[in-house]
Chain A
Amino acid sequence: MKSLRNSPGSVLMTLFFILTILFLFFPIMVILPMSFSAGETLQFPPKSWGLRWYREYFNDDLWRASTFRSLRIALMASILSTAAGTLAAVGLDRTRKSLVPVFTGLFLAPAIIPNVIIALGVFIMAVWTGLTSSEPLLVMVHAMLGLPFVLLIVGAALRQQDPSLENAARVFGAGPVQAFVTATLPPLTPAIISSLIFAFFISFDELIFALFVMGGKVTLPVRIWSDLQHFINPTIASVSTIFIIATTLAMTTAEILRRRSANRNA
């Protein structure tokens, strides 16, 4: 193996890998310094530094309103999605083998099927039922979109777990609910928190459903989208920087949690 690693081929491979990672990160990282420009337009590197575009963002009532709306929706959607997904993962674990592919297929399909198709159906349904511009509707749609990810994360954690724990709790007289809450649930905590994080970002970044369904109640992605269609507004650089930092922190947390739970089960 050592000889392989130092061969010219593997030097090339290492270089290729570094270039790929740069390609993935470079456009994201360029935004960060640009957002701290004090000038009228975006420059790299900025000629003068300042928080001008952050002030522009935080002092604008409409930006603030759409941000809070998106935060609210994402928070509720991630809780709903994680609760429903965790319960479903536990249920799937105990369903007849022949039925499992049918249910998983149904739950995972929205991750693959172009969202614009589902969004159109939801939009027509919203018009028929008079539920356009309804935040609860968008919360539930986003919860549905998060299900595939919750199911995969919690399902994986569940498969590593010893089912005899819950059985033992039942033997010692716990009811089914109590056994679930005291024996099955606690070891799943890291997976559940990761699920919350992923489901949150699925909702927070979602554009097409919000665009079709929400009418005048603009969410943060809808606001960014409509601004981008007209001009490159430097305020978006500051919003993007906040997005980037939040995503990086959240993903790092999720990764640490995932590793901790993997170590515990090992």
Chain B
Amino acid sequence: MIDAIPMGEQLRFAAIVILVVAGLFFTFVSAVGVLRLPDIYARAHTASQADTLGAGLALAAVALALGWQHATVYTVLLLFFVFITNPTAAHAIARSAAESGITPVTSEPTATDGGERADDGPADSSPNTDGEDGSTGGGGSA
């Protein structure tokens, strides 16, 4: 290991370049997704996963380039913090959108119950059972 210092430096250089390019790619995917996807839930999905991975890869490149310093500890702590808090923030935003009554865009508008779910309450009450549909539809037909 000590004998091959130029080889190790080349390997570290290549690893830094690969991590930075991968981070840029995933952040680009996240940016295109936030700009182009149809509703807030799909955008929150993109922002929680692709953007977290892009930021994590770029911060890993920074930590690899800094070497053994005090600043590397800051960078690794920042990486773990971003990995924990970025999906949490996106989840909180999507949850607030769900409780504000924003209906998701679906390909079949008749397959879901639309805005009734927001009025009935949170989604954990399983509103798409056959009991509710049978009660409303049966009341109309009978």
Whether A and B are associated in the same complex: the answer reads no
Chain A residues proximal to chain B, CB less than 8 Å? none
Chain B residues proximal to chain A, CB less than 8 Å? none
